[in-house]
Structure 1
Amino acid sequence: MRILSAFFLLATIACAAIEATAQNDPPPPQKPLEIKVVVINMFEVGADTGDAPGEYQYWVEREHLDTVLPFPAGYHDLRLNEKSGILGVLTGVGTARTAATIMALGLDARFDLTHAYFLVAGIGGMDPRMGSLGSAVWSDYIVDGDLAHEIDAREIPKDWSTGYVPLGKSTPYEQPRTARFGDDGNVYHLNPGLVDWAFALTKDTVLPDTPAMAARRQQYTEEAAHRPPFVLRGDNLSASTFWHGKLLNQWARDWVKYQTDGHGTYAICGMEDTGTLQSLTWLSHAHKLDISRVLVLRTASNFDQQRPGATAAESLGETKIRQYSAYLPALDAAYRVGHLVVDNLVANWQQTRDHIPTSATSLK
């Protein structure tokens, strides 16, 4: 009997010890939240909601990104619609902030991004040869405009068209075009099938127009610049330097042609997209996400050059945030076009989770 009593006493003590240990253990890690779409915006003017908008606000308000998630490793707190699985991220302006923020997001253990789609949605400067104020551009190529040698324009040889020289070269646009440091991030080619699908889905979207925009676009001579806002395909030059003017516009056209071996056509400029694509590319190599699920949409808040009768300096003086010729309409256009893609991906998640849509895909 004494042996039996001792056995029960030891068993009771052991159970109590196990229970106490379990109470002191940290809770088991939560399963990462599967994200369906990440919307990437670059700047906001003030608060995320309820005041003068930047690129983020319309997405936060209209997609009901109501859950705020602290994000100390990135530029700004994240916002989530828990029901739809749409996550909003604000990167900050410039390639450095953007690359750091997107890398931090991709390594955040709270999220499963392996099936997520990524939509960059921002404003930019339009080539008037390609489109008009308020127009929306889906891009196949994102080209870096920062990685280069440069000579001041006052010192370039007379037979040079620009002082920009590709890294590792001695003259502008020197052939053969080979990257100096291997895959050095000069060009990112997005999944053409997905871009085809996004363009086909949104090409007939009616975009906001104003009398002021109509008057401004008539000051330019290019036929495309005269059109009311529309959705188009064209390529994106990403550079942290906010450049402006006819001569730099010609450089942008030539630079995109050179860096894409003649396949790309410059349409619009932005500041952050190569930083975003660099981080997404390396995160894809680490199997954190799928780089073939990335889209870049830029809408024209202004033209990238002066109108006839004005100097580049005068035009640049007019080109300030919230004073752009089409600032608010461009923000609205980015949402109007972009949300059709985002909402369609979410609504058809049973298909789109595992199968990337193309122009031949039949979705509701």
Structure 2
Amino acid sequence: MACVDSFLQFNDESFALKLQLEEIEAQRELQSGKWTENNPPDFALAFDDFEAELKKALCLVEDLKFAHSIAKAVDSDAVAIKESMVEEAQSVQDRGFAISLNEDENLPSPDDTNTIDMSRFEAESVDWDHVLRATEASTFSNKSCSTVAGPSTLYTLRQKAVLEHLPQLKVECSVCGKSVHPHFTVRLMCSDVYCKPCLKSYFLRVAKDESLFPPKCHRRLIDISNIKADFSTEELTIYRAAELEFSSMDRVYCAEPECAKFVPMPQRTPDCASCKACGAGTCIHCKALAHNGGCIADGTRQSLLDFADEQGWKPCVGCGEMVFRSEGCDHMT
């Protein structure tokens, strides 16, 4: 029964190590940035070192499983081996007795022959017991660090913690309630855990519904960097455009009825907004399609016109700029 328990322990150890290796690979995929070949960042070196340690531990577990399988086979066949050796000893004794009868020699004592053979068997049995004890001593024990090839006590304690929480290695999404591996989840500032599909879906809903902007959970903002790697280029463009629109304090939309898209600040002049989607121009002041001449909805321009009228200024018939006569006749050419 002890051997069966050991195999179960080894299987749990192996599973825990493989999960940690998967977690390292998942974290590597989330990292971004470039660096020279011979000068990797600290986190890359840490991942490589930890991965090497885990692979060595995994190799050790597999070797121990193989050693225990041999010990288990020896233990389960011990009775058969003992019976075989007794039969062999009896055969040797019978053969020696028969030879002595033919040669008329002094007969050896059957008791002496049996004693010699059985003592040899007992010695060999002690050797097998030593093998079993040695393989059992090489298991991951948290009470002793006397193993020859086993891991250090510090690593053993870490593995014990992993094994104790093995059933909890899958966490529950706060939105859909599904149990998923930790590297497929995001833990937010409010401590809620979202699976990545749910968090991505939330951001895409925010891009369509301004009432959800900015994305929050328990009144804490959610940074898109938590899920950015899971967005396609098109999806990220859609969200960024919505983010720019919803955060704008001075919104202008394309006056073309079939378009009506938001026109961001870089596409505007003081009087006109140019829509890249359809190419139409929109008057900044009256929000209608762009038109020639000044706009009556331009409050600043209207104030200037009122002041000019008080001062006797007139618009130039050529360019429309305000002019006034300082000297000469009233005729303009």
- TM category (shorter chain) comes to under 0.3
Higher strand content, 1 or 2:
1
Comparing both chains, which one has the higher relative contact order based on Cα–Cα distances under 8 Å and sequence gaps of 6 or more?
1
Using structure 1 for the length normalisation, give the TM-score. 0.19
Higher helix content, 1 or 2:
2
- The structure whose Rg is larger is 2
Using structure 2 for the length normalisation, give the TM-score. 0.20
